[in-house]
Chains A and B, each alone.
Chain A
Amino acid sequence: MKLIILDHYSQASEWAAKYIRNRIIQFNPGPDKYFTLGLPTGLPRDHPESYHSFMWNNFFKHIDIHPENTHILDGNAADLQAECDAFEEKIKAAGGIELFVGGIGPDGHIAFNEPGSSLVSRTRVKTLAMDTILANARFFDGDLAKVPTMALTVGVGTVMDAREVMILITGAHKAFALYKAIEEGVNHMWTVSAFQQHPRTVFVCDEDATLELKVKTVKYFKGLMLVHNKLVDPLYSIKEKEIEKSQSSKKPYSD
């Protein structure tokens, strides 16, 4: 695991963005070589417009991705399990997820894999925990009765199949979950802990999220920042990549 600790939320976001950018450019995608980016479903079903608006306003409208290349789980599908199975097939067809980017809940869940979810689960319909329902109430004008109790989600196993996983954790309210995820054992009550068994994980967090970690852990990883920062500096660009192709390629740091 690489644990990247930045001072503030904005710096953590920027570091993560730069990392993803460098990863995509280093991957050298092309018409026959797609970089498959995995993102967790943000909102439960019955709010499809908000979720689509969220993805459009925060991501899709800023890039030139073709709609054909975006796949969003449809919570309004007639046969939900078939929709989930089809999603798994689409991932396979795309050659698997190259990089999965997600956050964790205060209860340590990844995507909607609530405490108790199998660590080898696949994309499926999931009943939400009360914590999550309370957190989602803000999307429904604070009316708990309106918040859906079910969601389609990628499974822990689905994310584990990704070639690399990046988890973003910011804020003091996530600190305990981060502690459980990386300093305690693998446990299905804190599903993010499953990534201890993934060969390539990056946890990006801010100072506040480290509040429940051992001082020793924090000092160790802060000490590694000099090395880890080489992953985002130099920041590659597509144009420069073309020029670099003719020169000797620089291998990025990896552990």
Chain B
Amino acid sequence: MRGGQGAARAPVIQFTNCRILRGGALLREDLWVRGGRILDPEKLFFEERRVADEQRDCGGCILAPGFIDVQINGGFGVDFSQASEDVGSGVALVARRILSHGVTSFCPTLVTSPLEVYHKVLPQIPVKSGGPHGAGVLGVHLEGPFISREKRGAHPEAHLRSFEADAFQDVLATYGGLDNVRIVTLAPELGHSQEVIRALTALGICVSLGHSVADLGTAEEAVQSGATFITHLFNAMLPFHHRDPGIVGLLTSDRLPAGRHIFYGMIADGIHTNPAALRIAHRAHPKGTNTLSGSIAPMDTCVRHFLQATGCSVESALEAASLHPAQLLGLEKRKGTLDFGADADFVVLDDSLHVRATYISGELVWQVEEARP
């Protein structure tokens, strides 16, 4: 990665006249970047006795960490689950186009597919750093095929699977290997799922619950086995019931392991979830909210809709799209934050949270047409 002797000679850029999201608040501060990382200007001043090599006026805009979308199935005519010879270009196209939505890192998502598709497609989606070419690929999100028949949604029924006796081997055989895999969504009511969850978690893969008819008890067991995420809360799961809240009940469950935090994705496009439902979830568990685009709506549209629907603070809405996904994936030291030392992936937003420009590793990778500095 970056860093080392070369970094000290790299130019220092100071972004001025802006408000930055840091520590959960919008502060009137300058953002300093060097060598693709956020720089501590105090150290630069007192220890290196240097000033910025370049200053860029941000016109009073908001600078937020780049958005991270952990569930995106394709877009712009591309479907990641399509077995094509050149999945790579499809991913690259989407990666480039979502820069204009403020997304700087994402997890290409595959829905339930036949074995051949997994075996063909997965090796073609390596983890990749972002840049002018497009948002960074953090790893693949496998949504299925180990999900519930009743809650399959738009997933093809023919390719649903359940775990055989040697469950983990079954998983490996289905996917053809777990390199490049970052998140797996499964239904915890399936037999042998707990051991699969434990095995995947041990490999550092994030396990998510979704497309499931599990009751709260089963869901809690899954979390105890290592699950940390809920895929598109409310959609493709049992509705909240006051005597058995189902997976939704995880938001306020008192049977989660100590110190463990459950995250949940919500598609805040105004269609998949009623605003009242968004509010209930967010108010019940604000630190777990992850904004997903998931469908057709761009990520920044979802952030704006989430802000408007829940009436939450701007800081909260921005964290739901950046910090929380980073925390989910254990990347919060480098991504989803503007703390010193983090990767300089950030997005310039106006007060109504429209994206004006996107930066990856301190480099401008997209900006809105009229905004010529």
Contact B49 A67 (CB under 8 A): yes
Binds B, one of A26-34, A52-60, A216-224, A238-246: A52-60
Closest beta carbon of chain A to B186's beta carbon, Å: 48
Which residues from chain B contact A64 at a C-beta distance below 8 Å? 51
Main SS class of interface, A: helix
Contact B30 A68 (CB under 8 A): no
- Which residues in chain B, 48-88, are within 8 Å of chain A measured between CB atoms? 48-51
Contact B51 A56 (CB under 8 A): no
Which residues from chain B contact A57 at a C-beta distance below 8 Å? 42
Contact A56 B49 (CB under 8 A): no
Interface range on chain B (Cβ under 8 Å from partner):
10 to 19
Indicate if A66 sits at the interface (CB-CB under 8 A).
yes
Q: Report Cα–Cα, A60/B50, bound state, in Å.
A: 12
Closest beta carbon of chain A to B53's beta carbon, Å: 13
Cβ-defined partner of A61 (8 Å) among B30, B49, B50: B30
Q: Considering only CB atoms, which chain B residue lies closest to A48 in the complex? A: B46
Indicate if B45 sits at the interface (CB-CB under 8 A).
yes
Q: Report Cα–Cα, A53/B51, bound state, in Å.
A: 17
A-B contacts, 16 listed (Cβ < 8 Å): A52-B42, A53-B42, A56-B42, A56-B46, A57-B42, A60-B45, A61-B41, A61-B42, A64-B51, A66-B51, A67-B45, A67-B46, A67-B49, A67-B51, A68-B49, A70-B45
Contact A52 B30 (CB under 8 A): no
Closest beta carbon of chain B to A39's beta carbon, Å: 15
Closest beta carbon of chain A to B208's beta carbon, Å: 41
Closest beta carbon of chain B to A72's beta carbon, Å: 8
Which residues from chain A contact B51 at a C-beta distance below 8 Å? 64, 66-67
Q: Report Cα–Cα, A52/B49, bound state, in Å.
A: 13
Which residues from chain B contact A52 at a C-beta distance below 8 Å? 42, 46
Query: Which residues of B are at the interface with A, using a C-beta cutoff of 8 A?
Result: 29-30, 41-42, 45-46, 48-51
Given A67-B48, A68-B49, A70-B45, 7 more pairs with CB closer than 8 A: A56-B41, A56-B45, A61-B30, A64-B51, A66-B51, A67-B45, A67-B49
Which residues from chain B contact A60 at a C-beta distance below 8 Å? 45
Q: Report Cα–Cα, A68/B49, bound state, in Å.
A: 6
Q: Report Cα–Cα, A70/B50, bound state, in Å.
A: 12
B30, B46, B48, B49 interface centre (most CB from chain A within 10 Å): B46
Q: Considering only CB atoms, which chain B residue lies closest to A66 in the complex? A: B51
Closest beta carbon of chain B to A73's beta carbon, Å: 13
Which residues from chain A contact B46 at a C-beta distance below 8 Å? 52, 56, 67
Minimum-distance CB pairs A-B, first 6: A67-B49, A56-B42, A67-B45, A52-B46, A66-B51, A68-B49
Closest beta carbon of chain A to B58's beta carbon, Å: 16
Contact indicator per residue, chain A 62-86, by CB within 8 Å of chain B (1) or not (0): 0010111010000000000000000
A53, A64, A67 interface centre (most CB from chain B within 10 Å): A67
Q: Report Cα–Cα, A57/B40, bound state, in Å.
A: 12
Q: Report Cα–Cα, A52/B29, bound state, in Å.
A: 17
Closest beta carbon of chain A to B340's beta carbon, Å: 13
Contact indicator per residue, chain A 103-143, by CB within 8 Å of chain B (1) or not (0): 00000000000000000000000000000000000000000
Q: Report Cα–Cα, A53/B47, bound state, in Å.
A: 12
Closest beta carbon of chain A to B45's beta carbon, Å: 5
Q: Report Cα–Cα, A56/B43, bound state, in Å.
A: 10
Q: Considering only CB atoms, which chain B residue lies closest to A69 in the complex? A: B49
Q: Report Cα–Cα, A67/B42, bound state, in Å.
A: 10
Q: Report Cα–Cα, A61/B39, bound state, in Å.
A: 14
Q: Report Cα–Cα, A139/B177, bound state, in Å.
A: 56
Q: Considering only CB atoms, which chain B residue lies closest to A60 in the complex? A: B45
Closest beta carbon of chain B to A198's beta carbon, Å: 32
Which residues from chain B contact A70 at a C-beta distance below 8 Å? 45
Which residues from chain A contact B48 at a C-beta distance below 8 Å? 67
Q: Report Cα–Cα, A7/B205, bound state, in Å.
A: 63
Which residues from chain A contact B41 at a C-beta distance below 8 Å? 56, 61
Q: Considering only CB atoms, which chain A residue lies closest to B55 in the complex? A: A64
Which residues from chain A contact B30 at a C-beta distance below 8 Å? 61
Q: Considering only CB atoms, which chain B residue lies closest to A56 in the complex? A: B42
Q: Considering only CB atoms, which chain A residue lies closest to B52 in the complex? A: A64
Q: Considering only CB atoms, which chain A residue lies closest to B44 in the complex? A: A67
B41, B45, B51 interface centre (most CB from chain A within 10 Å): B45
Closest beta carbon of chain A to B200's beta carbon, Å: 43
Q: Report Cα–Cα, A70/B44, bound state, in Å.
A: 13
Closest beta carbon of chain A to B194's beta carbon, Å: 47
Q: Report Cα–Cα, A61/B45, bound state, in Å.
A: 9
Q: Report Cα–Cα, A221/B50, bound state, in Å.
A: 45
Q: Report Cα–Cα, A56/B40, bound state, in Å.
A: 11
Q: Report Cα–Cα, A230/B319, bound state, in Å.
A: 49
Which residues from chain B contact A66 at a C-beta distance below 8 Å? 51
Q: Report Cα–Cα, A66/B46, bound state, in Å.
A: 10
Q: Report Cα–Cα, A185/B49, bound state, in Å.
A: 44
